[in-house]
Structures are given as structure tokens and as C-alpha cells.
Amino acid sequence: MIVLKCTVQENNKENKALKELMRYSHIGIQLAATVAVSTYIGWWLDEKFDTKPVLFIIMAFFGITAGMVSFIRTVLESSKKKK
């Protein structure tokens, strides 16, 4: 009976750790994807309108800014939930 209780407690700790990992693992992927997609759109628009590298640079800065705003919001939201 004691062994069973210890195993259940360990599983709860592992589940909690996995939930925390899943909560934070998407943040980096989301930041990188935002920057990559916006930069690609800028490159594509530059090719289409022959404005190299103006739109590429504008969209890259837009992607970096949007990604950082999303990153900060997610971190702040998750820290509020922890309290």
C-alpha cells in the first residue's frame, strides 16, 4: 500500500512537470514561426513588386515585434496563472 501511494505521488509530479513543459514549449516555436512567416511574406512581396529589400526588412521587423509581443503576453499570462 505504501509503495502504491509513492508511485501515485511520483506520477502526479511527473504529470505536473509535463504540463509545465507543454505550456512553455510552444512559445519558442511560435516566436520562430512568426518571424519566419512574416519574413517570407516580405521576400515574396519584394519579388512580386520588385522592391528589394524594402518589404523584406519591414516584414522582418514586423515579425520580430509581433513575435516578441506574443512571447511577453504568454509569459505574463502564465505567471499570473501560477499565482
Q: H/E element holding 25?
A: helix 2-49
Write out the residue range of the structural domain in which residue 21 sits: 2-82
Per-residue pLDDT in tens (0 to 9) along the chain, 83 residues = 455 454 555 667 777 778 777 777 888 889 999 999 999 999 999 999 999 999 999 999 999 999 999 999 988 887 787 66
Domain tally, the chain? 1
Contact (CB, 8 A) for 70 and 34:
yes
CA-to-CA dists, residue 69 to 24, 31, 33, 73, 80, angstroms: 15, 9, 14, 6, 17
52-53-58-59 Cα dihedral, nearest 10 degrees: 80
Positions of E strands within the chain: none
